[in-house]
A and B are shown apart, each in its own frame.
Chain A
Amino acid sequence: MEPKPTTLKAITAEEFYTAHGRQLGLKLEAGQAGLNRKIHEATINRPGLALAGFFRYFAWARVQVLGNAEKTYLKSLSSPERRGRIRDFFQRRVPCVVFSRNIQPTREFLEEADAYRVPVFRSPLVTGRLINSATLMLDLDFAPKMTEHGTMVDILGIGVLIKGESGVGKSECALALLERGYSLVSDDVTRMYVLDGRELMASSPEETRYLMEVRGLGLIDVGRVFGVGAIRTEKRVDLVVTLRDAGKMEDVERVGMEQEFQEILGIAVPHVQIPVSPGRDLARLVEVAALDQKLKTMGHNTAKEFNDRLIARMRNEARG
């Protein structure tokens, strides 16, 4: 079965609180009844203009972050005007509110939050830091995700996803790479997600983290057998290597001039296919493929550079 990508459409304020409350130091101050409200966008909003009465372009579906500026502005309003604005604000179905710098919301604000059932939190982080952290976390929550059948390794900083049919030797290949001192991200089942809309990241499911299944040996705890240096939690995918039975491969790349890509979650990742046959040292081949990929990202394409030189030389000889 082909793996399917999933993308969240929304998360509830409660999910946000549960998942990130500790890291953001969130404390729930009011509006508990509204924890099922939905956050629809993976970013935050500072509602300064809204609190000033301008609601025409109000990004209501986001987490609303209030800092010193908003606090000071609200304080400057007359009491009835302030209550009116706060009500206008809560009426817009905002999912939740976070005060930065441990600002204590006024009683009036908390009363309205309870009345409109909008959760209000407090965070000790300064506004800028809170916004950055919360945006990153939300971006991850909303990132497209999928599970790939493949083994992920880190070879000298190059993240390589090794794919191929069951039994083709993915795990054995990874094992040999571990013996060479490289590290494992995940074996067989790899979780993928897109970071920041442009980087494909891979990690392992928590349940099977750092475990490897090797035919004939069973489960191996990589962290214990090879040491903590041999494991890492996540890694950007720089290269996809597909191991294929040599007998089933019709077109084997011989020069490597054309870069093949494989699209995962909308990101095009360089792809090479390696024919598997007895006696081929797969780990070494994958290692060299990773190093060659590193050269390419540094701007050196061996095959292309050689070919350009060759064509120039043949042209000169034809003239001379």
Chain B
Amino acid sequence: MKSSPIGGDEHPRPLIREVVVINKQGIHARPAALFVKTATKFRADIGIEKEGEVVNGKSIIGLLMLAAGEGTKLTLTAQGQDAEKALAELSKLFEDKFSED
């Protein structure tokens, strides 16, 4: 069996974490930029899913397209060596309301 071309052999399966948007204005430009800025620090591939639609977590346009307002449930995925650390930092952004409100 071939290993997946992304992420290497060590973490062949993506890590998954559920988050909820709790800041009032939702994932608008500023939170999206903050998310992408954080995500690009990591080598892992990051994905965000909303109701079955998955976008690249390092793409601002992708994130904005999700239009994830307050109360939206999202699934974060990360695949790669630093996936765990990436998910920890990224989900903390949601908990901290992206330093808004």
Give Cα A313 to B29, complex, Å: 13
Other-chain contact of B69, A254, A255, A303, A317 (Cβ < 8 Å): A317
A-B contact pairs, 28 of them (CB 8 A): A251-B37, A254-B33, A254-B36, A254-B60, A255-B30, A255-B60, A257-B29, A303-B29, A306-B29, A307-B28, A310-B26, A310-B28, A310-B29, A310-B64, A310-B67, A311-B26, A314-B26, A314-B27, A314-B28, A314-B67, A314-B68, A315-B26, A315-B69, A317-B67, A317-B69, A318-B69, A318-B70, A318-B71
Closest to B21 in A: A314
Interface residues of A in 287-320 (CB under 8 A from B): 303, 306-307, 310-311, 313-315, 317-318
Complex Cα distance, B64 from A318, in Å, reads 16
Does B25 sit within 8 A of A, measured CB to CB? yes
Q: Which residue of B lies closest to A254 (CB)?
A: B33
In the bound complex, how far is the Cα of B69 from the Cα of A311, in angstroms? 8
Known: A254-B33, A310-B67. 4 other contacts (CB 8 A): A255-B30, A310-B28, A313-B69, A314-B28
Q: Does residue B32 face the partner (Cβ distance < 8 Å to A)?
A: yes
Interface flags for A77-92 (1: CB within 8 Å of B; 0: not) read 0000000000000000
Asked whether, in the complex, the Cβ of B69 is within 8 Å of the Cβ of A314, the reply is: yes
Contacts of A307 in B (CB 8 A): 28-30
Closest residue of B by beta carbon distance from A250: B37
B interface, CB within 8 angstroms of A: 25-30, 32-33, 36-37, 60, 64, 67-71
The CA of A251 and the CA of B38, in the complex, are separated in Å by: 11
Tell whether, in the assembled complex, residue A313 and residue B67 are in contact, meaning their CB atoms are under 8 Å apart. yes
Give the shortest distance, in Å, between A270 (CB) and chain B (any CB).
Answer: 18
A307–B67 CA distance with the chains assembled, in angstroms: 10
Q: How far is the CA of A251 from the CA of B36 in the complex (A)?
A: 12
**Are B29 and A255 in contact, CB atoms less than 8 angstroms apart?**
yes
Contacting pair A314 B25 (CB below 8 A): yes
B42 smallest CB distance to A (angstroms): 16
CA of A318 to CA of B67 in the docked complex: distance in angstroms?
Answer: 11
Residues of chain A contacted by B32 (CB below 8 angstroms): 255
Q: List chain B residues, Cβ under 8 A from A306.
A: 29, 64
A310 vs B2: C-alpha distance in the bound complex, in angstroms?
A: 42
Contacts of A317 in B (CB 8 A): 67, 69
Cα A318 to Cα B26 with chains together (Å): 10
Q: Across the interface, do B30 and A257 meet the contact criterion of CB distance under 8 Å?
A: yes
Neighbouring B residues of A255 by C-beta, 8 Å:
29-30, 32-33, 60
Q: Which residue of B lies closest to A251 (CB)?
A: B37
A20–B37 Cα gap in the complex (Å)?
56
Smallest CB gap from A315: residue in B: B69
Residues of A within 8 A of B67 (CB): 310, 313-314, 317
| Chain B residues, CB < 8 A from A318 | 26, 69-71
In the bound assembly, the distance between CA atoms of A311 and B28 in angstroms comes to 6
Question: Given that A317-B69, A318-B71 are contacting pairs, would A311 and B30 also be in contact in the complex, using a CB cutoff of 8 Å?
Answer: no
A311: which B residues are within 8 A, CB to CB?
25-26, 28
Indicate if the CB atoms of A314 and B36 lie closer than 8 Å: no
